[in-house]
Amino acid sequence: MNENVHVLNHPLLQHKLTILRNENTSTKDFRELVSEIAMLMTYEATRDLPLEEVTVKTPVDTGTFQTLSGKKMAIVPILRAGLGMVDGVLKMIPAARVGHIGLYRDPATLKPVKYYCKMPADIASRDVLIVDPMLATGGSASAAITFMKEYGCKHIKLMDVLAAPEGIERIQQEHPDVEIYVAAVDSHLNDHGYIVPGLGDAGDRIFGTK
């Protein structure tokens, strides 16, 4: 793994991720935890946001302080499971716009199939944070990054809760310019392309469809 891969090994993240992994965790708890994890991960994924100085008069004195310099951002969830992370990210970056990419992984070929795409009009000028709980083969994330580059986006980050080494390697090879943020990297993929030990099908567990 190169320096573009950030494994956010924070105790709160690891604790919440362990509950997510448990097959007995309810849909309600799973959904809430994905949102909380996304919020905590956003803290790290935005560490390089530029700041500028402003003058503020406090009740005691006037001083010069730092404020965000107003960089325009877009959150791009990969439907459907990525939707589960949007609320958490927006709690940290409430002014961000949200673009949607609909992709599902064909269970036979494991290749991503695109079925929906809707972006803010000025997406090319925004910094993009693609969110999806799972980075397995990396096919879905790599396709999503390619779409965003076709829109003209120059600064793209990828944020996944859980990754397989295979997915990370693929993004590093196909998109070496993209920084990757994950809470953990698991052992490997099984024959069905599921992360082992993983947490199962994130979309089904967020939306209660299984």
Of residues 31, 105, 126, 170, which has the active-site annotation?
105
63 labeled binding residue:
no
Respond yes or no: is residue 122 known to be catalytic: no
Rounding to the nearest 10 degrees, give the CA dihedral for residues 130, 88, 43, 187.
Answer: -60
Respond yes or no: is residue 109 known to be catalytic: yes
Residue 194 interacting partner from ligand PRP, ligand URA, none (CB closer than 5 to 8 Å by kind): ligand URA
Nearer CB in complex with ligand URA: 99/112: 112
In which element (H, E) is residue 135 found?
A: strand 134-135
β-strands 100-105, 73-79: how paired? parallel
Contact 140, 80 (CB under 8 A): no
Q: Please state, in angstroms and rounded to a whole number, the distance separating the CA atoms of residues 31 and 27.
A: 6
Please give the residue whose beta carbon sits closest to ligand PRP in the complex: 203
Q: Please state, in angstroms and rounded to a whole number, the distance separating the CA atoms of residues 25 and 202.
A: 12
Q: Using CB under 6 A, which of the segments 41-49, 56-64, 77-85, 92-100 binds ligand PRP? A: 77-85
- Enumerate residues 6+ apart whose C-beta is below 8 A from 138: 166, 167, 168, 169, 170, 171, 174
Respond yes or no: is residue 204 known to be catalytic: yes
Q: Is 167 in the site for ligand PRP (CB under 6 A)?
A: yes
80 labeled binding residue:
yes
Respond yes or no: is residue 160 known to be catalytic: no
Q: Where is the binding site for 5-phospho-alpha-D-ribose 1-diphosphate, in residues?
A: 80, 105, 132-140, 201
Note the residues at the interface with ligand PRP (CB under 6 A): 78, 80-81, 104-105, 110, 112, 132-141, 167, 193, 201-203
